[in-house]
């Protein structure tokens, strides 16, 4: 389990202040809701030269609920993006890993990062071009 301060720093940075305002204005912020219109996931799309990056925060109603990246992939593809798509999840964060896996993403490279004195290990997930 990550310390709460580290969790906040790793998962909410793209969803704060100026970066969030920029994404809202550009239309690169996607929100996923459940059948009761409760927000389950928020994603920011960041385009690079060779792929689209999906930066996500999940808020399932219950830990056993599997939230899928599939609707986000559909939205990215509907914009005409034919590039591979990547996303990252803290290694061992099953709901976040299942989020990508349920949409056909496959596990990729493992990344280590030092944040607030804690080593954070993430896995990058990849979805190829259809």
What is the domain-level CATH number for residue 63? 3.40.630.30
**CB environment 86-118: b (16+ within 10 A), e (fewer):** bbbbbeebebbbbbbbebbbeeeeeeeeeeeee
Give how many domains the chain has, as a whole number. 1
Phi, psi of 12 (to 5 degrees): -115, -5
User: From CA 114, how far away is CA 77, in angstroms rounded?
Assistant: 33
In which domain, by residue range, is 32 found?
4-127
pLDDT tens string for the chain (130 positions)? 444 444 444 444 555 566 655 655 555 778 888 888 888 888 888 889 999 999 888 877 676 778 899 999 999 999 899 999 999 999 988 889 999 999 999 999 999 988 888 899 999 999 998 6
pTM: 0.77
């Amino acid at each position: 389990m990550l310390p709460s301060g580290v969790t906040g720093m790793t998962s909410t940075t793209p969803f704060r202040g100026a970066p969030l305002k920029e994404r809202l204005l550009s239309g690169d912020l996607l929100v996923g809701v459940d059948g009761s219109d409760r927000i389950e996931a928020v994603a920011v799309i960041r385009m690079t030269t060779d792929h689209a990056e999906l930066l996500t925060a999940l808020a399932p109603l219950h830990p056993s609920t599997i939230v899928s990246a599939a609707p986000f992939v559909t939205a990215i593809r509907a914009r005409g993006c034919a590039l591979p798509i990547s996303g990252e999840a803290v290694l061992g964060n099953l709901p976040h890993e299942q989020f990508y896996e349920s949409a056909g993403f496959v596990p990729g490279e493992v990344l280590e990062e030092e944040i607030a004195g804690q080593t954070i290990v993430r896995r990058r997930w990849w979805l190829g071009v259809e």
